[in-house]
Structure 1
Amino acid sequence: MAPLFFAFCLLFNTPLLALAEFRIELADVLELLLHKAKHPEYGLPPTKETSHSSKASGSGSRFAIEVDAADWDKVLSLAESAGFVIEKKLQSFSNIYIARRRGRRKRDTGQIISELISSKSVRWAEPLLPLYREKRVIFTDPLYKEQLRSWSSTPSMSIPEAWAAGFTGKGVTVAVLDDGVDALHEDLQEAVDPELCYNFIEVSADVTPKPGREETHGTRCAGIIAMTANNSKCGVGVAHRSKLAGLKVLGEGQLLNDAIEGDSLAYKSDRIDIYSVSWGPRDDGRSAEKPGSLAQKALEYGTMHGRGGLGSLYVWASGNGGLEDDNCAMDGYASNLHTITLGVATSTGAPPWYAEGCSAVMAAVTEGPKTTNGMITTDVDNKCVSFSGSSAAAPLGAAILALVLEANPLLSQRDVQHLIVRTSESETLVRTSPSQWIVNGAGLPFSRYFGFGVLNAEKLTKAAKQWKRVEPVSSCAREMRVSNGTFKPGSPLRLDLPFEGCKGTSGEVNWLERVQITITIEHPRRGQIALFLTSPSGTTIQLLHPRKNDDSPDGLSDWPFVSVGHWGENPQGKWRLEAVSVAHPKNVNSVGSLKAVRLTVQGTRADPLKNNAFILSKH
């Protein structure tokens, strides 16, 4: 992977620096980072979204650094002599290392800042902060019949039908980013590829969960994907001939950081096809957190360059915070231009009690009837267990997409998304819960809980075999002027956003895939904000719902809201953003102020269905 400039990035532009000058600059920038973490008045203030979020308190003394140095031994020696210890090199990025401060320096901070500003060798810097992540928890196999009952809920995911057509995930590798995978389990031994496993916490290849700890989540996710068939143990994985990469990033009592997230999300993206992620910021209805520099760059790199340029697939669970009025719009991992976010539908066609919805949800899986108690899967210590919640949605969806990639290995990650949009089952859900649905300007039904419907493995694999690749993505972004952005209860703000879709340029978009609107809002209580986006076709999507627990006074700072609900429309014309401040007993007359808006659309210049008209017929 080409060098990227990430959190706490040091770039030495000159080929050879004097040793003394190098020692001063490396020490100074690390020292400055410590000072900035404690004294934000010098710049790099804490992100507003994280002041009430799941980030742990305390700045710590660890950093990610990138150096451009041919002789690393010399760099190591100089760094240590300057008072810093190099702990490790990241696995997925060139020349990015983790450094830890050793001892204290007594130099004047103002002097250090002045020297840094004048130094051409220093770009920018950022300390590593600890991040709290919450887990979103005819065969001979004895529990296969119970699996069938789960998969056969209405609407059916048609998994056995895809198997009958010969698709089992063969040749596809799925990574489970979690708290480890029990590779010794009888139902996982054949699937786990030890060459692709890595423990980012202990910096080793051993991803085995620790005995006696709450480290069962990853093993349960892995079983849904790749349990071995016909071995008289547990059940059958949806992609039971796929390979597994266990990437351990979570552990009892362990906190993540941006370096671990980025390193794992980019890990061996040339060999890993799909990344399954069932964790995220706290589902408490008040946390607001998005990927850091390393994690975001990893997602961008993977979707563009993974799988030999076809793009890796990042499958994310929407979240379990429904009971807290949470929604995944405030989870910048689930609501992201580069992830495929999945929800859950019950057998009655309604969202489960724990479900989080948002405009970024692309599709759903069914959790099965109540009598099944969840999905059958593997557990640590060679056991079997049932597993439910949105945690099960990501691996189940990832496994279905593994069948799709087996059917057509030449699909790009965007081709896969087109197939999801066009083949997902929505008719039954629309009948049972019509209030959850809209029909967009392209005639596609969409729900913030179910996306475009429930994944259907049979239809997906059948369509994948015929699908012709879409053209490379076009992207168009525009900053919008805001003159008077005030809004309050009973007096919403409606802002028209003229948009030409970069017509006549290389970024021209005529057929929309995803839209992202990045917003800065000042508001005394963030949980009162509701946001709506209306396209030129007249489709209104609610980007943000009020959250009863979110009492943060920090508003929104450069927050990206993603919508897939406008898929297939023409983005050219007048968009409209509506900002509403919902009345609250503690803040009856609270006033919000919209400060900045940036609209970004992604899609294609040419009609993606021109060579894929078959997809419009019933499959």
Structure 2
Amino acid sequence: MCVHNASVQLFVLLLLFYYFIQVPPTSALYLDFKPDEMESQNLKPIKPQGTPSWAVKIHFNSVFDSNRTTLDDAADQIAKDVSLINVGQVGELFGHYLFLHETYSNVTIESEGTNLHDLQERIERKLTEHKHIAWFNQQIIRPRVKRALNFQDPEYMYQWHLHNPSGMDINVTSVWENGITGKGVTVSVIDDGLEWSNPDILDNYSKEGSWDLNSNDADPLPSVDSKGQNHHGTRCAGEIAAVPNTVCGVGVAYGAKVSGIRALDGPMTDSLEATAFNKFMQINDIYSCSWGPDDDGETVDGPHPLAKAALQHGVSAGRKGYGNIFVVASGNGGRYEDNCNFDGYANSIYTITVGAVDERGHMPFYAEECASMLAVTFSSGQSPQRSIVTTDWTLDGGTGCTMSHTGTSAAAPLAAGLVALMLEARPCLTWRDVQHIIVMTSTLVDEGNSVWFVNKAGFHHSHQHGFGLLNGWRMVNAAKVWQNVPWMTSFATPTITEEQSISAQTSSLLVSHEVANNDVEEIELYTLEHVQVIVSLSHAQRGDLEIRLICPSGTTSVIASKRKKDTSVAGFVDWPFSTVRCWGERPAGIWQLKVIDHGSTNSGILHHWKLNLYGSPMTSNDLRLRR
């Protein structure tokens, strides 16, 4: 339930006021409950197994009337009177003591038919007759079981990303045990279709949130093609919300609803993408997108005008104004030295860009780096590392289950499922709240093989893993107590014309621009979130270039890395690179753009660039308090 923060604070204050009025502060709290009141809570009859021990409440007024020195001394003498041993006060309960018989270590008193039963009667007769004992209660062994989850799904045991003895998992089982499973949240999978009739999907299928954009009808069922490739969306949906039953495994948010937007089984256009991003935006809370431009190490592409507008519209108007959550895969071009900052979906400030680690927490060979990476979660690795076990289609002879879902395509749905758990815990989180919580709760991973940097706001970030590994327990518990962040504010510099040469002979080109304090304070931009750099340059071989952005604090982001396969002469035309590495830092000061030419003969020109700074009125101290 979402309520105004002021209302919560007032309610808590009233409770505290009432408590201290009713219960005067004392050095020890006196509780006057009776054993029959405690016993009445046992709703399920069990066969008791008694122990030769008794909880005893001492009538301390009569004790002090008889000039005992202390209550503990009185308890020792009373225990001796009834042939028992006083082992001390029960916890913090004043006047309540535990008395044991000398046989306690090796005997239990069964409820019937033994000599021990006679012992019980003798002891309890003495306890009843003692004038300083208000009441007593024999201690019974009560059956208590851990409320562990017991799924019947046959492949759940192989879903290591959900429960891994090594601890390398998304830390979600304790969230489920506390009743958070994604209830009331709908996750839409924009992909090649969704086999909603699959028994592992059917009970969680949202018909209301689904549509087939390729055939323009309400049924997103995938088509069976000659290559059998259209099971991708069903696999992703299973990771998110597979039903606990006797089929395959379970989803991260197995209490959530899942819908399908079929869009990838046909020609993709800007208008089709825009429609997909906003389809049923008041029903679908989260959109999971495990696709993007070619991960070939030479493509620079992303959303075009309509799709860009749809992403912005989704975060502004979706979910009744709280904003839809767009989760995107960072890409699988690592083997080609690709970088997700050349992918405009991963590069967008409106998306949560998710990369992958394998089951050991290492960066897999296919994973990409980029400065816009928000976090990572688990997926496949190189053999013998395991892949993701999830639902598969039953069409065309499919088995309904796979143990080989791979790549960042498998990482993004896990993140979408974790966000669904957050939204159940606190439905009024905005799209920016979700990003902030991820920044603050993600944990360091692969420290021995990755370069981690701590920025001036105290946040750790790496180009390989973003702010770290998603942790379900931390995300959900942070969501429960989270106060909504204030409005987003932004500042754009004028276009900075340079027309300066880029050449390998000069090693690098360094240009700068100062953002004045007055400029950002006027709009209450005190701390940064996303920073976007719009760059236009020409070069005879684009892949020779590396571009770095240096924030006023000195924090450096590689916003474009060199790519051997990228031999394009097209350069960059107003391409929006972005970084999250300055998150929480102050925006005012001198910003530097450094262009490094790693080639030997080619040259180019930096035509112009500009900065778009996004952040909030939160101060650095506000962020520290939230952490």
TM-score range, shorter chain: 0.7 to 0.9
Are 1:288 and 2:300 matched, yes or no?
A: yes
2:19 match: none
Task: Say if 1:345 and 1:365, in contact at 8 Å, map to a contact too.
Answer: yes
Counterpart-to-counterpart distance in 1, 2:230 and 2:467: 33
Q: How many angstroms does 1:151 deviate by?
A: 4.6
Counterpart-to-counterpart distance in 1, 2:537 and 2:472: 41
Are 1:180 and 2:198 matched, yes or no?
A: no
Q: How many angstroms does 1:612 deviate by?
A: 7.7
1:115 match: none
Counterpart-to-counterpart distance in 2, 1:154 and 1:334: 28
Secondary structure in 2 matching 1:541: strand
Map 1:219-258; keep pairs closer than 5 Å: 219-229=234-244, 231-251=245-265, 254-258=266-270
Aligned-pair identity in percent equals 37
Map 1:69-88; keep pairs closer than 5 Å: none
Counterpart-to-counterpart distance in 1, 2:178 and 2:510: 51
Are 1:216 and 2:231 matched, yes or no?
A: yes
Counterpart-to-counterpart distance in 2, 1:149 and 1:604: 35
How big is each residue's C-alpha offset from its partner over 1:63-90, in whole Å with a ceiling of 9 and x where there is no partner? xxxxxxxxxxxxxxxxxxxxxxxxxxxx
Q: How many angstroms does 1:349 deviate by?
A: 3.3
Q: How many angstroms does 1:445 deviate by?
A: 1.0
Task: Say if 1:501 and 1:510, in contact at 8 Å, map to a contact too.
Answer: no
Counterpart-to-counterpart distance in 1, 2:601 and 2:623: 54
Are 1:512 and 2:528 matched, yes or no?
A: yes
How big is each residue's C-alpha offset from its partner over 1:177-232, in whole Å with a ceiling of 9 and x where there is no partner? 00000011000001111121100011001111112442110000000000001x11
Task: Say if 1:154 and 1:349, in contact at 8 Å, map to a contact too.
Answer: no
Counterpart-to-counterpart distance in 2, 1:612 and 1:187: 43
Equivalent AA in structure 2 for residue 429 of structure 1: D
1:112 match: none
Counterpart-to-counterpart distance in 2, 1:217 and 1:309: 31
Choose the corresponding residue for 1:170, options 151, 171, 183: 183
Map 1:77-476; keep pairs closer than 5 Å: 138-148=150-160, 151-152=163-164, 154-212=167-225, 213-229=228-244, 231-251=245-265, 254-367=266-379, 373-381=386-394, 383-386=400-403, 387-426=405-444, 428-430=445-447, 432-434=448-450, 436-476=451-491
Gaps of 5+ in 1: 1-137
Task: Say if 2:510 and 2:594, in contact at 8 Å, map to a contact too.
Answer: yes
Question: Structure 1 residues 536 and 243, CA, compared in 2 at 3 Å: closer, same or farther?
Answer: same
Secondary structure in 1 matching 2:622: coil
Q: How many angstroms does 1:290 deviate by?
A: 1.9
Task: Say if 2:248 and 2:401, in contact at 8 Å, map to a contact too.
Answer: yes
How big is each residue's C-alpha offset from its partner over 1:465-488, in whole Å with a ceiling of 9 and x where there is no partner? 111111010011002433452121
Q: How many angstroms does 1:503 deviate by?
A: 3.5
Equivalent AA in structure 2 for residue 601 of structure 1: L
Counterpart-to-counterpart distance in 2, 1:609 and 1:144: 44
1:532 match: 548
Task: Say if 1:150 and 1:374, in contact at 8 Å, map to a contact too.
Answer: no
Equivalent AA in structure 1 for residue 514 of structure 2: P
* Aligned residues between the structures: 468
Question: Structure 1 residues 527 and 372, CA, compared in 2 at 3 Å: closer, same or farther?
Answer: closer
Task: Say if 1:169 and 1:239, in contact at 8 Å, map to a contact too.
Answer: yes
Secondary structure in 2 matching 1:303: helix
Equivalent AA in structure 2 for residue 418 of structure 1: H
Counterpart-to-counterpart distance in 2, 1:281 and 1:310: 28
Q: How many angstroms does 1:608 deviate by?
A: 7.6
1:571 match: 587
Secondary structure in 1 matching 2:190: strand
2:95 match: none
TM-score under structure 2 normalisation?
Answer: 0.72
TM-score under structure 1 normalisation?
Answer: 0.73
Counterpart-to-counterpart distance in 2, 1:396 and 1:325: 25
Counterpart-to-counterpart distance in 1, 2:292 and 2:559: 19
Equivalent AA in structure 1 for residue 344 of structure 2: G
Q: Which has the higher contact order (CA 8 A, sep 6+)?
A: 1
1:595 match: 607
Counterpart-to-counterpart distance in 1, 2:194 and 2:161: 26
How big is each residue's C-alpha offset from its partner over 1:239-274, in whole Å with a ceiling of 9 and x where there is no partner? 0010111000011xx220011100010111122110
How big is each residue's C-alpha offset from its partner over 1:121-168, in whole Å with a ceiling of 9 and x where there is no partner? xxxxxxxxxxxxxxxxx2111111111466535543201121122210
Counterpart-to-counterpart distance in 2, 1:266 and 1:241: 23
Counterpart-to-counterpart distance in 2, 1:498 and 1:504: 11
1:95 match: none
Question: Structure 1 residues 422 and 504, CA, compared in 2 at 3 Å: closer, same or farther?
Answer: closer
Counterpart-to-counterpart distance in 1, 2:505 and 2:488: 40
Counterpart-to-counterpart distance in 1, 2:518 and 2:412: 35
Task: Say if 2:499 and 2:608, in contact at 8 Å, map to a contact too.
Answer: no
Task: Say if 1:496 and 1:575, in contact at 8 Å, map to a contact too.
Answer: yes
Task: Say if 2:520 and 2:587, in contact at 8 Å, map to a contact too.
Answer: no
Secondary structure in 1 matching 2:218: coil
Task: Say if 1:474 and 1:506, in contact at 8 Å, map to a contact too.
Answer: no
Secondary structure in 2 matching 1:245: strand
